[in-house]
């Protein structure tokens, strides 16, 4: 895989996504997906093209994915890193909610209406595995071959955000994508980003079910859940902004510790040294088409 093939892969993913959307619109009420099927189809849309492209990668497919071992101490520090970046993600989510709805919250009732173990597996384990396999495994490794790891980090993160096809998730997914790629560089292993992504999503699923259980036990919980004023959003944003100002620098220190623990300090520092050493262009026509399609879809959804 190289950057050109990576761009074709992303375009294929977007075209498959749009084809599924059009098919469901034409089918109307004749086909109705439950939350479980919806999640499986969503991950299949990105995994199927990636596996197809990877099948033609030849002998280098193992090197492309980079499933290297990580130390047990690194594993626990990745978990700590994940919790430290959560306030920053919450801030970005809150900022986006001033002009768009919370995409995950809109699905919360469907999610909590299903069995907890199944949703924990699908959202907390299966989803992150598929997304990391594609975006930090196949796409990021392809973009790295351009010679610019910094460009590869930002581009793979941008596409990770756009893949969600809504403004709300795109904003904070972009930031998460950067952090996950840095974890891969700090450890030299795709397992690192998978662990972080799985812990993050699993924590969100647990909070959904916990809040649902608490709210259902309180009188007038429907009204309380529905009321989210600008004032309350501003108050929450202010609190999390202060928390993020403390936890984010600590997360950066933890990332540096992880790189030192895995003897990858030079690799992490080398990201900035390679800024002007690109061997090939990251952007090509298929990528431009894919990004335009994503933005058009998101704009249409935002307007409607």
pLDDT digits (tens, 9 = 90+) for 25-67: 888 777 777 899 999 999 999 999 999 988 876 655 556 667 8
Q: Collapsing DSSP states into helix, strand and coil, what is residue 105? A: helix
Per-residue pLDDT, averaged over 274-291, amounts to 81
For the segment 102-149, what is each residue's pLDDT rounded down to a tens digit?
Answer: 888 888 888 999 999 999 999 999 999 999 999 999 999 999 887 788
pLDDT value of residue 88:
97
Q: What angle do CA 39, 41, 42 make, to 5 degrees?
A: 65
Weakest-pLDDT range from 7-11, 27-31, 88-92, 242-246: 27-31
CA 40 – CA 113 distance, rounded (Å): 17
Q: What CA–CA distances, in Å, run from 72 to 58, 63, 79, 262, 303?
A: 32, 22, 11, 11, 47
Does 224 have pLDDT greater than 60?
no
pLDDT value of residue 257:
97
Q: Which candidate, 119, 76, 249, 264, places its Cα nearest to that of 188?
A: 264
pLDDT above 70: percentage of residues in the chain: 91
The DSSP secondary-structure symbol of 275 reads T
Torsion of CA 304, 44, 187, 278, to 10 degrees: -70
Instruction: Output the average pLDDT for the chain.
Output: 89
Rg (CA), the chain: 20
Q: Treating both helix axes as pointing N-terminal to C-terminal, what angle do 285-303 and 167-187 enclose, rounded to 10 degrees?
A: 140
CA 102 – CA 215 distance, rounded (Å): 19
pLDDT value of residue 87:
96
């Amino acid at each position: 895989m190289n950057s050109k093939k990576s761009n074709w892969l992303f375009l294929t993913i977007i075209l498959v996504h749009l084809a599924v959307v059009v098919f469901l619109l034409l089918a109307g009420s004749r086909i109705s997906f439950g939350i479980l099927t919806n999640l499986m189809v969503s991950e299949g849309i990105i995994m199927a093209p990636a596996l197809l492209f990877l099948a033609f990668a030849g002998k280098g497919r193992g090197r492309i994915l980079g499933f290297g071992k990580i130390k047990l101490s690194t594993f626990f520090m990745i978990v700590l890193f994940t919790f430290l970046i959560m306030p920053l993600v919450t801030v970005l989510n809150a900022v986006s909610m001033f002009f768009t709805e919370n995409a995950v919250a809109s699905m919360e009732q469907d999610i909590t209406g299903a069995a907890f173990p199944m949703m924990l597996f699908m959202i907390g384990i299966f989803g992150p595995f598929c997304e990391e396999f594609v975006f930090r495994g196949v796409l990021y490794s392809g973009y790295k071959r351009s010679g610019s790891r910094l460009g590869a980090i930002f581009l793979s993160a941008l596409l990770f955000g756009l893949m969600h096809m809504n403004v709300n998730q795109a904003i904070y997914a972009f930031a998460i994508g950067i952090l996950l790629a840095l974890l891969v560089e700090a450890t030299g292993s795709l397992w690192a980003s998978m662990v972080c992504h799985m812990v993050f999503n699993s924590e969100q699923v647990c909070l959904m079910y916990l809040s649902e259980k608490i709210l259902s036990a309180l009188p007038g919980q429907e009204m309380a859940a529905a009321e989210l004023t600008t004032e309350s959003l501003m108050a929450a944003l202010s609190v999390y902004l202060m928390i993020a100002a403390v936890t984010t620098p600590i997360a950066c220190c933890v990332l540096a510790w992880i790189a030192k623990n895995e003897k990858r300090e030079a690799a992490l520092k080398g990201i900035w040294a390679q800024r002007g050493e690109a061997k090939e262009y990251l952007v090509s026509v298929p990528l431009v088409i894919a990004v335009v399609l994503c933005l058009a879809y998101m704009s249409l959804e935002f307007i409607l």
